[in-house]
Chain A
């Protein structure tokens, strides 16, 4: 069975500093990987995805993520954090060979950006 791990419940970073939110996955075969962001009492917003190709994926709001097959990781990064980036971030995975195409989500990482 596939799984996603987000090892940090919370990440604190100062505004203007680079941020990283970690994600590792376990899945048979090649994965499709996603990052979503959730603001309080809101639905999830799609940030970016990796399907194939370049290991560095660029997404919305200046975020990017690096796919590392050997480390089975897909860490979310941003060069310069903003206070408005403070939110809950979810990593998700979908194996290529699953018929239902449903996503398996990590438990989420709360990002707190201090001014």
Chain B
């Protein structure tokens, strides 16, 4: 988990609220990713970004939004349009040179809808 921080560790959301999950890395990695983890389903890609001010939708982007204003930061907003947001959210990052293929993960944020 070293080098990638996610906050908060636990987050509770009421119906109709938007919430933002933080992801910060000090590894000087170029690419960053957001995954959602549900029991028995593995990880699914929400959004990814390979450079600042650019990001791409993953496989399950509906109801989510991101920004990438700084290399170190890639916050994820879970909007009220996301119908089933209760899940464990994982942020990851990766170099674009050298060891380009290994992704390193943060400790995760568990989001629960009340």
Docked-complex contact A9 and B40, CB < 8 angstroms: yes
Docked-complex contact A101 and B101, CB < 8 angstroms: yes
Query: How many cross-chain pairs have Cβ atoms below 8 Å apart between A and B?
Result: 60
Docked-complex contact A43 and B90, CB < 8 angstroms: yes
Q: Is the interface of B mostly helix, strand, loop or mixed?
A: strand
- With contact pairs A46-B102, A94-B101, A100-B56 given, residues A107 and B31 touching in the complex (Cβ less than 8 Å): no
- Give which listed residue, B31, B43, B50, contacts A90 with CB less than 8 A: B43
Per-position binary interface string of chain B over residues 17-58, scored 1 when its CB falls under 8 Å from any chain A CB and 0 otherwise:
000000000000001010100001111110010100000101
User: Closest B-chain residue to A48, C-beta based?
Assistant: B102
- Give which listed residue, A32, A43, A51, A107, contacts B1 with CB less than 8 A: A43
- Give which listed residue, B33, B102, B108, contacts A42 with CB less than 8 A: B108
User: Closest B-chain residue to A42, C-beta based?
Assistant: B107
* A22 lies within 8 A of chain B by Cβ: no
Q: Interface size on B (CB < 8 Å)?
A: 30
Query: Which residues of A lie under 8 Å from residue B101 when comparing CB positions?
Result: 32, 34, 49, 51, 94, 101
* B83 lies within 8 A of chain A by Cβ: no
Bound Cα distance from A103 to B31, whole angstroms: 13
Docked-complex contact B45 and A43, CB < 8 angstroms: no
Query: Which residues of B lie under 8 Å from residue A42 when comparing CB positions?
Result: 1, 107-108
Docked-complex contact A43 and B108, CB < 8 angstroms: yes
Query: Which residues of A lie under 8 Å from residue B103 when comparing CB positions?
Result: 46, 103
* A83 lies within 8 A of chain B by Cβ: no
Docked-complex contact A45 and B105, CB < 8 angstroms: yes
* A105 lies within 8 A of chain B by Cβ: yes
Query: Which residues of A lie under 8 Å from residue B110 when comparing CB positions?
Result: 41
Residues of B within 8 A of A (CB): 1, 4, 6, 31, 33, 35, 40-45, 48, 50, 56, 58, 88, 90, 92, 94, 100-108, 110
Besides A4-B42, A44-B105, 17 other A-B contacts (C-beta < 8 A): A34-B101, A41-B108, A43-B1, A43-B90, A43-B107, A46-B102, A46-B103, A100-B48, A101-B50, A101-B100, A102-B45, A102-B58, A103-B103, A105-B43, A106-B42, A107-B42, A108-B40
